[in-house]
């Protein structure tokens, strides 16, 4: 099907078509398509933009990743399908950032497919294809990780994670940064630094902030972040957006030319 660039939901339709292809190739599982739908619904509620509180969280996330001794970004099928290029960009912007495949629905073949998508996008080294350690508190395959990656990480970025794993990583001692459009998800609630924003927007913004530290005279510190305040700000942004729309004070931005 040909998609018209003038369609008001052009970008979303392109993303959906890409995910449907990724599902046919085995990169994304059917559950991943449901997760995308849930995310899109929250993006509507947020006004499909990066809110000021999300931007602040992204700046803090860049600082944490640059301050960490062993920063890791955890990648699942949806993240590889939607944002492999942005993951590669982030890995270039954060020296020492390990990129690890971490799958809820793990098979060796799927782990290899995710790793291949990341390498094709420019990620030089991908961990987690053959896991070598286990995070306690997670049943079966879901706790499998790489000893050189998540197992020893002090800061882990978990885009589109599920709540159990975010909680287990935190209990294991890592600081958890989440990217999840749903401020009410257990992941957002468990994270030390929840980013309530769309994946591609968030990763690009974090990378841009991380690059600014190249010129800094010293390494940043792991500063305190008020996660509860940030989550409340995301809910307030939704509430304000809905109030504006309910009052008829909102215009959809013009589609790209
Ligand atoms: P939890 O266990 O944390 O309550 P969940 O069961 O909703 O979460 P999943 O179904 O795995 O977890 O969904 C992952 C989350 O990712 C969802 O909350 C969804 O809002 C979010 N999400 C999906 N697509 C995107 C995207 N493109 N950008 C940001 N967030 C997204």
- Regarding beta strands 71-75 and 193-195, do their DSSP bridges make them parallel or antiparallel, or are they unpaired? unpaired
The mean pLDDT value for 119-141 works out to 93
pLDDT of residue 257: 57
pLDDT of residue 139: 82
As given in the structure block, the two tokens for residue 247 are 């009052």
Q: What is the SS3 assignment for 195?
A: strand
CB of residue 38 inside a 6 A radius of ligand 1 = yes
The answer, yes or no, to whether residue 123 has pLDDT greater than 90, is yes
- Residue 178 in any domain: the answer is yes
pLDDT of residue 105: 85
Between the CA of 45 and the centroid of ligand 1 the distance, in Å, is 15
Nearest CA to ligand 1 atom 16: 160
pLDDT of residue 140: 76
- Residue 158 in any domain: the answer is yes
**Domain total of the chain:** 1
CB of residue 160 inside a 6 A radius of ligand 1 = yes
Domain range enclosing 229: 52-235
- Residue 37 in any domain: the answer is no
CATH number at residue 108: 3.40.50.12640
Q: Are 150 and 72 within 8 A, CB to CB?
A: yes
- Residue 88 in any domain: the answer is yes
The answer, yes or no, to whether residue 172 has pLDDT greater than 70, is yes
pLDDT tens column, 47-96: 999 999 999 999 999 999 999 999 999 999 999 999 999 999 999 999 99
Nearest CA to ligand 1 atom 18: 182
pLDDT tens column, 5-30: 777 778 888 899 999 999 999 999 99
Compute the mean pLDDT over every residue in the chain, rounded to the nearest whole number.
93
Q: Are 233 and 51 within 8 A, CB to CB?
A: yes
- C-alpha 25/C-alpha 82 separation (Å) is 14
- Residue 153 in any domain: the answer is yes
- Residue 99 in any domain: the answer is yes
- Residue 122 in any domain: the answer is yes
pLDDT of residue 81: 97
pLDDT of residue 89: 98
């Amino acid at each position: 099907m040909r998609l018209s660039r003038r369609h008001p939901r052009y970008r979303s339709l392109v993303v959906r078509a890409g995910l449907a292809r990724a599902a046919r190739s085995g990169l994304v599982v059917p559950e991943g398509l449901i997760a995308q739908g849930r995310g899109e619904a929250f993006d509507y509620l947020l006004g499909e933009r990066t809110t000021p509180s999300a931007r602040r969280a992204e700046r803090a996330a860049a600082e944490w990743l640059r301050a960490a001794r062993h920063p890791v970004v955890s990648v699942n099928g949806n993240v590889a399908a939607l944002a492999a290029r942005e993951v590669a960009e982030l890995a270039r912007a954060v020296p020492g950032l390990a990129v690890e495949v971490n799958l809820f629905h793990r098979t060796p073949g799927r782990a290899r497919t995710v790793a291949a998508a990341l390498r094709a996008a420019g990620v030089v080294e991908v961990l987690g294809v053959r896991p070598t350690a286990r995070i306690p508190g997670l049943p079966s395959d879901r706790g499998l990780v790489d000893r050189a990656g998540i197992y020893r990480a002090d800061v882990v970025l978990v885009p589109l994670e599920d709540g159990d794993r975010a909680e287990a990583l935190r209990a294991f001692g890592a600081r958890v940064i989440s990217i999840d459009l749903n401020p009410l998800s257990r992941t957002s609630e468990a994270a030390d630094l929840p980013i309530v924003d769309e994946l591609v927007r968030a990763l690009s913004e974090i990378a841009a902030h991380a690059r600014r530290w190249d010129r800094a005279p010293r390494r940043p510190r792991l500063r305190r972040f008020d996660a509860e305040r940030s989550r409340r700000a995301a809910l307030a942004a939704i509430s304000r957006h809905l109030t504006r729309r309910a009052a008829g004070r909102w215009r959809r931005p013009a589609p790209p030319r």
